[in-house]
Amino acid sequence: MSRVLVVDDEPGLRKVVRDGLERAGHEVETAVDGEEALGFLAERDFDLVVTDLTMPRKGGLELVREIRRSSPVPILVLTVRHEEREKVRLLDAGADDYVTKPFGIEELLARVRALLRRRGSGHAPPSELRWGGIVVDFEARTVEKKGKSVHLTPTEFALLAKLAEKPGAVWTHRQLLSAVWGTTAGVTNDTLRVHMGSLRRKLEEDPDRPRFIRTEPWVGYRFTPED
């Protein structure tokens, strides 16, 4: 059982999220805005924070920044459409994931499960990863698909290793570019897209409808090996 803090100024949405999380077996506290949330966080430890983006006193972005000054607790943000720049800002500020309103409760619970699982597994990168007929050995740097060896270029392997650090999480373009190329100067999002495309062609069943390496439009990529 995990302890989750839900921060939202809408009473109805607060109740719905709380009910959903309690149904999934979590212990839930609620706060009406960022100020109150920081008060709760100062008093006791939480395993996860779920926060709305726009709130009257201290919104989601500010809350993420303040939490990140002192705590690595996973943060999930409830955002809206038309706000891709805001999503990138949130992730770069240290938020772990977001769901876009209107979201389904099951979608929210799936994201919560992924975040809590990562928290449980610690930060050590896995030495081996298996999903959907694919086996990746990070120490030997080999990839097999349905028993056959697949050759990845060094860049493709570096991208896959970065994605595999946090299964289920979103990586912004900037985060991936600086992790794999060491810089964001001179490499464009389109370069990243080309390498992701060839990685998909080697690993996905249908590269036009990727299931494991998903595009988050104008934000980045999400690695979802469990789906």
Partner 1 sequence: MIKALRGRWVGYPGAVVLVLVTIGILKFFPGLADSSVALLLLLSVFLSAWIWQSGPGAFAAVLATLGFNFFFLPPVYTFTVEDPRNVVALAVFLVCGLMIGRLSALARRRLRLVEAERADLAAMTRLSQAFLSDTNRESLLGIAADRLRDALGARHVSILLADDQQKLAPAASTSQTEIRRDLADLTYRQGNSAAFPSELEGTDIYLPIPIGVQRAGVLVARGFQASEGLAEGCAVLLGLALERERFVRLARAAEQTRASDQMKSTLLAAIAHDLKTPVATARGAIENWAAEAGGSEKARLALDQLGALTRTIGELMEVVRLDAGIARPHREIVSGAEIVEAAVARFGDALARHSLFVEAASGDATVEVDPAQITEALGHGLENAARYSAPGGEIHVSANAEGDAVFLRVADRGSGVPPAERERVFERFVRLAPAEGIPGTGLGLSIARSLVEMNGGSLRLLEAPEGGTLFEIRLPRAIQAGDLAAPRTSSP
**SS3 labels along 135-195:** EEECCCCEEEECCEEECCCHHHHHHHHHHHHCCCCEEEHHHHHHHHCCCCCCCCHHHHHHH
Residue reference for tokens 């077996």: 25
Does the footprint of partner 1 cover residue 103 (CB under 8 A)? yes
In whole angstroms, give the CA distance from residue 12 to residue 138. 46
- Residues in contact with partner 1, shown as a per-residue x/- string from 161 to 190 under the rule CB under 8 A: ----------------------------xx
Helix (H, G, I), strand (E, B) or coil at 116: helix
Q: Given strand 220-223, what is the order of strands in its sheet?
A: 170-172, 220-223, 213-216
Judged by CB under 8 A, does residue 209 bind partner 1?
A: yes
Size of the site for partner 1 (CB under 8 A): 33
**82 binds partner 1 per the rule CB under 8 A:** yes
- Tell which one of 194, 201, 205, 227 touches partner 1 (CB under 8 A): 194
CA distance 204 to 216: 17
Under rule CB under 8 A, residue 104 binds partner 1:
yes
Out of 43, 45, 102, 139, name the contact with partner 1 by CB under 8 A: 102
Given 57, 70, 92, 106, the residue binding partner 1 (CB under 8 A): 106
- Residues near partner 1 (CB under 8 A) are 10, 12-13, 15-17, 19-20, 23, 54, 80-82, 84-85, 101-106, 189-190, 193-194, 197, 208-209, 214-218
